[in-house]
């Protein structure tokens, strides 16, 4: 199953993601979740970035938090609302919100 996970909070750990078992996991960072794509702790990327085959960040949320899309981790694909609709309808079968 192709599962998309919306992450809207910035937390150091996310045990729910650790328990998800799926063939194809995609993470969509929205609201404060976009900080996972920008901030480093002790020089390390957020653990969330290594849990999925694809990681997306909503550009409007990135910009509204004063972050620059070109300064985000290279693993993250920045999408606008139109791009997010494409991801939702074309890339994943089911979604959950964390």
> 22 versus 64: which is more confidently predicted?
64
pLDDT(13) > 80: no
Are the beta carbons of 98 and 14 closer than 8 angstroms? yes
Contact partners, residue 21, CB within 8 Å, separation at least 6: none
Domain ranges of the chain: 2-97
2-97 placed in CATH 3.30.565.10: no
Q: What is the mean pLDDT of the chain?
A: 90
The closest of 87, 89, 94, 84 to 61, measured between CA atoms, is 84
pLDDT(12) > 80: no
- Summarised one tens digit per residue, pLDDT across range 20-44 is 888 789 999 999 999 999 988 777 8
SS3 call for 2: strand
**If pLDDT is split at 50, 70 and 90, which confidence band does 14 have?**
low
Instruction: Return the pLDDT at 7.
Output: 94
């Amino acid at each position: 199953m192709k599962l998309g996970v919306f992450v809207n909070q910035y937390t150091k750990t996310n045990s729910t993601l650790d328990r998800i078992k799926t063939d194809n996991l995609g993470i969509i960072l929205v609201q404060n979740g976009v900080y996972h794509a920008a901030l480093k702790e002790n020089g390390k990327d957020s653990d969330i970035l290594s849990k999925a085959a694809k990681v997306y960040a909503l550009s409007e949320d990135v910009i509204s938090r004063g972050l620059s899309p070109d300064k985000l981790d290279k693993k993250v694909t920045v999408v606008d609302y139109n791009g997010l609709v494409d991801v939702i309808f074309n890339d994943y079968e089911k979604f959950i919100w964390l």
